[in-house]
Amino acid sequence: MGQGEIGRLELGFVYSAALSVLPPILVAFRERFNQVELGLQELTTEQQLLALTNKQIHLGLARPPIISNTADKYLSQELVARESLIVALPQSHRLAACEQIGLRELADEPFITFPRRSGAGHYDQIIGFCQEAGFSPKIVQEALQLQTIISLVAVGVGVALIPTSAQVLGMAGVVYRELDAPGPQLELVMVWRNDDTSPLLEAFLQVTRKCRI
């Protein structure tokens, strides 16, 4: 236990982390520390901050910005991954045949997004990106889960700007297209309490640093 090779570690993560960096992190950690029991909880960034404050988890994989009354003093964060935004379109959409899409071409489209309360950083990036292109997105539906957003795209409710990693969901009726101009990079960070001196946590931090993308 003193060497971080046995015990239990509680982890929180946003759903999109499970589509990208979390699986290789877990594989690498279990190969090295196979006697450590991992507790995994899918939580929004806000829920992770609360769980960290209440000492219900040891570490979170969250989307910045990390907004908390205690974050500056009591929490540490470190970049784990960056990824771009892509467009999810219904397969029958007029732009589905394009290899790349200009964001301005979506100005009159209905948008599906996450609610701001589930991830202020991601939501604000999308709104700001659209405004830089000269329009405010017409949000017709919000959904908490990424797979729900893509399902709604598939049945024609609207279009969505989503992380590149979401393509692995491979849902029928949806096509994914790159934007023709660079957009904001979505960041994923690991967050933990400064006062947590657990060898288990330190072991997980070291493994995660080697898996960052």
Q: Is 101 contained in some domain?
A: yes
Does residue 28 sit in the same domain as residue 51?
Answer: yes
Predicted pLDDT of residue 145: 86
CA distances from 98 to 77, 102, 125, 182 (A): 39, 10, 24, 17
Domain assignment of residue 2, yes or no: no
The verdict on residue 1 lying in a domain is no
Name the more confident of 200 and 212.
200
Per residue in 102-138, pLDDT (tens digit) is 999 999 999 999 888 777 777 888 899 999 999 999 9
Report the CATH number at residue 125.
3.40.190.10
Instruction: Give the pLDDT score at 124.
Output: 87
Confirm if 18 and 185 have CB atoms less than 8 A apart.
Answer: no
| Sequence-ordered list of residues with C-beta below 8 angstroms from that of 172, at least 6 positions apart, any chain | 154
Structural domain boundaries, residue 164: 85-184
For the whole model, what pTM was predicted?
0.83
Looking at the domain assignment, is residue 180 inside a domain? Answer: yes
Domains of the chain: total: 2
Do 116 and 159 reside in the same domain of the chain? yes
**How buried is residue 96: exposed, middle or buried, by Cβ count under 10 Å (0-12/13-18/19+)?**
middle
Q: Is the peptide bond before 64 cis (omega within 30 degrees of 0)?
A: no
In terms of domains, do 121 and 177 share one?
yes
Tell whether 95 and 179 lie within a shared domain: yes
pLDDT in tens, 152-210: 999 999 999 999 999 888 789 999 999 998 778 889 999 999 999 999 999 999 999 99
Instruction: Return the pLDDT at 199.
Output: 92
Question: What does the pLDDT read at residue 2?
Answer: 54
% of the chain with per-residue pLDDT over 70? 94
